Amino acid sequence: MSGGLFDRWRTAPTAVAEPQAPAAVGLQLWLDDQARVLRLAGPLRTLLALPGQPGAQVHDYLLRHSWLVLEGEPADWQGQPLDLDFHTVMGHALHTRGWLLRQAQGWLLQLFDIGDLLREQRWDRQRPLLGEIGHALRECGVSRLAQTTQEQLQVLADHWQARSLRLMLREAEGWRHYVSSEGAWPWPAEQVLQARLQALSAQGLVEANDDQELLALCGGISLFMVPCRLGQDAEAWLLCAGAPQAPPADMALALARTLIEPLLVRHRRQQLHEQAGHLDDLQQQLGAGWWQWPAQGDLQLDPALARTLALPSRISEPQWLAHLHPADREPAQLALAQAREGQVLGLNLRLLTGDSQQAPRWLHWAGHGRGGQVRGFLLDISALKAQEQQAGAARARLENLIASSPAVIYVQHYAEGALHSTFFSASLAPLLGWAADSEQARQPGLAVHPDDRALWLQRTRDLLREGQVRCRYRLRDQLGGYHWMLDEARLLRDDLGQPVEVVGLWLDVSEATEAAERMRQSEERYRVLVEDSPAMICRYRPDLTVLFGNRPLADYLGCTPAQLEGADLGQWLSAGQREAFVSRLRTLTPEQPLSSAEICLQLPGREHAWWVWAERGLFDDAGRLLEVQAVGRDNTEVRRSQQQLLQGAKMATLGELATGLVHEINQPLNVMRMAVANTLKRLENGVADPAYLEDKLRRIEAQVERAARLVEHMRVYGRRSALEHVPFRAWAAVEGARALLEEGLRGKGVALRLECPGEQPQVLGHQDQLEQVLINLLVNARDALLEQGRAQPWIRVRQLLDRQCVRLLVDDNAGGIDPLLHERIFEPFFTTKPAGVGTGLGLSVSHGIVAHMGGSLTVANAGEGACFCIELPLHITS
């Protein structure tokens, strides 16, 4: 822009001898002395709504309130700035500012668009109100939440000059009126308003003329409604009645969200608090509670559970065993040792009471271990055990009365660790031909089929250990034939838990067993079982041509089983997924015929779906793959939950970095402010030459690009990751993390040292997710450095490269991490930070991201502190 154009901005010139061509910006209108429009020019002319008649005056193009600006003849308008609002073809007003220039035969009205400037001024007036409303709702107590909301609603009503405002919240049973401002208004009945809001909840900003029925119910005067959405659905509606005019949609929405979002957060927090109280009450009523046993340390009990059991909340292993019944101490020790090795802990045991006359309390001890630590829950089952023993005794007495039953009822007495048969019902002789006092009756194990003797011995062990058993084996009758017997038995114990006797029943199931075996061998039976399976089962060739698919698979793919035969399984896969699928089939061999993977499909009616897919290859004598048998299950919900977790962690990271990012954006703004101030000063002094102005404008342009790059990077980083892996430079993620963190680290006195490599290879995955991993590592290192209070804290990032992988190393001088924590540092919810500071998810999420990219994340102490290593396989393009 030349110096002459800047002079025309400052003062309106007088008459000019010859017409000059105006700059090709804004809007130009040539007028005669009667203010008739002779010609239009400039980019903005295409927006104007032209009057229907020829020879129209400039007033015919303007909104009515702008006529006051152009009173009199054009000669009266010269020498003063003119703010004019024009009709446009899109319906909204075009806001302009300019001046009138004298031409040889008439007048030139030169105008520029100032709509953005006016909107920014309105936002500046509104920002203090946004801060006041949000601060008031966040700082008030729960008891004053409704009153504070009503007060802020009244502030908003005064701001909009509205007669009445009403806030409606979504509850489980429907919409509910929460509070209204003080102004009176004839609002419709609650049920009518709820029904209308239910119909409008899926729409955006609704003005009065968009819903005539609701407008009529509310008095027929101005009405507009603002929704507050969390996700796809509206969670609240703000209704404003009696305002002179509806505010701009973006401003109304910003004020509504500032008022409603803190309120919704407080409501949900209160609901979670109430639910936690209900869970505590339920736990006390059930006599249950949590416990955990670290690899090195004492047993820790839920304080409420400890009080119920009259035990301390922290108790050593010898003390814990001393409180158990002597018969349960060894099983408890063995079960705990197995749980520390990763097995599931599930054991019923008795807890001794202080009164020797009182029966022990039965507890169900359940849990699982990981990394040497065991955790789980304890449940008081004393009442259940008492009922179980009573029911067992009653059933045994009842079975003893059924002497004429076609089944054989027997009793075995326990003595010195063995079971001795003492009673058989009268049906023994007709069924097996044994006499009650025969050798077979005294020792049934002698008549068991040789192939089933292991089952018989296991049956006795299970009966003594578990207290009951149900199994099948073959017994030889008096003639030498064998009968399949279904054996159901229960062990009865005394009050001390010692075995007393076994009451059982033999039922001849020979015909049923043999029939079941024949049906199992039947191919038709096999096909029916496959069709009825809830899993997705199919067979296909190596070229992915489907040979067979069961109904669950066909239903999921939106076709019939008949349509599946001969179809290409790859039609539901993307190009990358199909290539990975076929490559996995090439790895199958007769020695290693199994494989499994998670595949992503594009299904009809669904955006994407993820399946856990297990395959088994069938080969000919030459080792060629003939076909593949596969079983799959839907894993879509789990995968979406993982994506939401990653996205939530990413948004939490952006929130934590907000201060540094604001400072980073302020830097170019300050530079631009200085450049503009210096330019204006020179313009006022009349010494601004074009070269100086060009230099300042280029400096402003560079700072704008700098801020735009940062904002664009934040926007790209904040969006959801792509579904499939893509190649990218690993070091690009380091540069992205530096853009978001460097200013914040410098503000806290931490030096960020990047050793930029010469070669920057590509890896396969998502750059924003690797950037999230690096940000987590850098933030953890920063917190450790600040906690240690190092004199010259630094964090270093470097790259190592070999033929197969690239390694990104992040180390610091914070003194390292306790070696005992290296194995647990990547566990979910494990954190060394104080309560309320860390969630324990950062490193766990980071470990999962790197593993999903086919790499590994490890930690070791090296040099002056900890060193985290991200190892990723190289992506080599063919």
Q: For CA atoms 583, 585, 586, 587, give the dihedral sign.
A: positive
Among residues 710, 720, 611, 601, which one has the least CA distance to residue 665? 710
Residue 118, φ and ψ in degrees, nearest 5? -65, -40
Residue 846, φ and ψ in degrees, nearest 5? -60, -45
With respect to residue 173, please indicate whether it lies within any of the assigned structural domains.
Answer: yes
End-to-end CA distance of the chain: 51
With respect to residue 284, please indicate whether it lies within any of the assigned structural domains.
Answer: no
- pLDDT beneath 50, residues of the chain: 1-21, 205-209, 721, 835-836
Contacts of 302 (CB under 8 A, 6+ apart): 283, 289, 290, 291, 313
DSSP for 595-611 reads: EEEEEEE--TTSS-EEE
- Distance CA(459)–CA(453), nearest Å, equals 10
What CATH number corresponds to the domain at position 240?
3.30.450.40
With respect to residue 235, please indicate whether it lies within any of the assigned structural domains.
Answer: yes
pLDDT in tens, 467-511: 899 999 999 998 889 999 899 999 999 888 889 999 998 888 888
| pLDDT value of residue 489 | 92
Residue 526 CA to chain centroid, in angstroms?
40
Looking at the fold, whether 745 and 842 belong to one and the same domain comes out as yes
User: How is the chain split among helix, strand and coil, in percent rounded to 5?
Assistant: 45, 25, 30
Looking at the fold, whether 578 and 662 belong to one and the same domain comes out as no
- Distance CA(752)–CA(740), nearest Å, equals 12
The DSSP 8-state label assigned to residue 313 in this structure reads S
Among residues 300, 338, 335, 343, which one has the least CA distance to residue 320? 300
Among residues 169, 222, 163, 175, which one has the least CA distance to residue 199? 175
DSSP H or E run through 240: strand 233-241
- Distance CA(465)–CA(544), nearest Å, equals 51
408-415 and 499-508: which strand pairing?
Answer: antiparallel
Which of these three, 226, 248, 277, is where a domain ends? 277
What CATH number corresponds to the domain at position 405?
3.30.450.20
Sheet arrangement for strand 594-601: 546-549, 536-540, 625-634, 609-619, 594-601
pLDDT in tens, 127-142: 566 566 666 777 777 7
Type of residue at 506: W
- Distance CA(18)–CA(103), nearest Å, equals 7
| pLDDT value of residue 221 | 60
Which of these three, 720, 745, 773, is where a domain ends? 720
Looking at the fold, whether 235 and 109 belong to one and the same domain comes out as no
Is the distance from CB of 183 to CB of 163 less than 8 angstroms? yes
Q: Is 640 helix (H, G, I), strand (E, B) or coil?
A: helix
Is the distance from CB of 611 to CB of 598 less than 8 angstroms? yes
DSSP for 761-774 reads: -EEEE-HHHHHHHH
Task: Output the six-digit token pair for 169.
Answer: 């919240």
Type of residue at 159: H
Question: Residue written as tokens 């899993």?
Answer: 535
| pLDDT value of residue 391 | 82
Alpha-carbon dihedral 577, 583, 584, 587, rounded to 10 degrees: 180
- Distance CA(523)–CA(54), nearest Å, equals 90
Residue 580, φ and ψ in degrees, nearest 5? -65, -35
- Distance CA(159)–CA(132), nearest Å, equals 13
Looking at the fold, whether 393 and 376 belong to one and the same domain comes out as no
Among residues 609, 610, 577, 583, which one has the least CA distance to residue 595? 583
Give counts: helices (H), strands (E), the chain: 25, 33
Looking at the fold, whether 875 and 743 belong to one and the same domain comes out as yes
Q: For CA atoms 68, 73, 79, 83, give the dihedral sign.
A: positive
Contacts of 812 (CB under 8 A, 6+ apart): 781, 784, 785, 793, 794, 795, 796, 864, 865, 866
| pLDDT value of residue 652 | 57
With respect to residue 198, please indicate whether it lies within any of the assigned structural domains.
Answer: yes
pLDDT in tens, 641-698: 666 655 555 555 655 555 555 555 655 676 576 667 777 777 777 776 787 777 767 7
Query: Max alpha carbon distance in the chain (Å)?
Result: 140
Domain region containing 806: 725-878
Crossing angle of helices 658-685 and 636-656, rounded to 10°: 50
Type of residue at 401: L
| pLDDT value of residue 14 | 40
- Distance CA(379)–CA(285), nearest Å, equals 11
- Distance CA(455)–CA(486), nearest Å, equals 12
- For residue 784, the tally of other CB atoms under 10 A from its CB is 22
Looking at the fold, whether 739 and 868 belong to one and the same domain comes out as yes
Looking at the fold, whether 749 and 715 belong to one and the same domain comes out as no
Among residues 378, 364, 392, which one has the least CA distance to residue 488? 392
| pLDDT value of residue 214 | 62
What CATH number corresponds to the domain at position 693?
1.10.287
DSSP for 159-224 reads: HHT-SEEEEEEEETTEEEEEEE-SS---PPPHHHHHHHHHHHTTSS-EEGGG-HHHHHHTTSS-EE
Sheet arrangement for strand 27-31: 37-41, 27-31, 107-113, 94-102, 82-86
- Distance CA(234)–CA(232), nearest Å, equals 7
The DSSP 8-state label assigned to residue 88 in this structure reads B
Which of these three, 605, 634, 663, is where a domain ends? 634
With respect to residue 123, please indicate whether it lies within any of the assigned structural domains.
Answer: no
What CATH number corresponds to the domain at position 803?
3.30.565.10
| pLDDT value of residue 270 | 78
pLDDT in tens, 82-111: 888 888 887 678 888 888 888 877 888 888
Is the distance from CB of 607 to CB of 586 less than 8 angstroms? no
| pLDDT value of residue 213 | 61
| pLDDT value of residue 234 | 76
Looking at the fold, whether 61 and 104 belong to one and the same domain comes out as yes
Looking at the fold, whether 294 and 272 belong to one and the same domain comes out as no
With respect to residue 49, please indicate whether it lies within any of the assigned structural domains.
Answer: yes
Is the distance from CB of 853 to CB of 866 less than 8 angstroms? no
With respect to residue 298, please indicate whether it lies within any of the assigned structural domains.
Answer: yes
With respect to residue 781, please indicate whether it lies within any of the assigned structural domains.
Answer: yes
Q: How far is CA 764 from CA 213, 326, 663, 716, 851, in A?
A: 56, 59, 33, 18, 12
- Distance CA(794)–CA(18), nearest Å, equals 69
Total of domains in the chain: 7
Type of residue at 808: L
Q: Is 20 helix (H, G, I), strand (E, B) or coil?
A: coil
Contacts of 784 (CB under 8 A, 6+ apart): 812, 814, 815, 865, 866
482-493 and 408-415: which strand pairing?
Answer: unpaired
| pLDDT value of residue 124 | 58
Residues 542, 543, 544: CA angle, nearest 5 degrees: 85
Looking at the fold, whether 73 and 200 belong to one and the same domain comes out as no
794-801 and 751-754: which strand pairing?
Answer: parallel
- For residue 300, the tally of other CB atoms under 10 A from its CB is 17
Looking at the fold, whether 187 and 230 belong to one and the same domain comes out as yes
- For residue 695, the tally of other CB atoms under 10 A from its CB is 13
- Distance CA(466)–CA(76), nearest Å, equals 107
Residue 372 backbone zone (phi > 0: left; psi -120 to 50: alpha; other: beta): left
Q: For CA atoms 635, 641, 645, 647, give the dihedral sign.
A: positive
DSSP for 441-491 reads: HH-GGGGB-GGGHHHHHHHHHHHHHHSEEEEEEEEE-TTS-EEEEEEEEEE
- The count of residues in the chain is 878
Looking at the fold, whether 806 and 873 belong to one and the same domain comes out as yes
Is the distance from CB of 207 to CB of 194 less than 8 angstroms? no
- Distance CA(360)–CA(859), nearest Å, equals 49
Question: Residue written as tokens 């009809």?
Answer: 604
Among residues 401, 427, 443, which one has the least CA distance to residue 506? 427
Among residues 3, 1, 15, 10, which one has the least CA distance to residue 108? 15
Task: Output the six-digit token pair for 256.
Answer: 């509504």
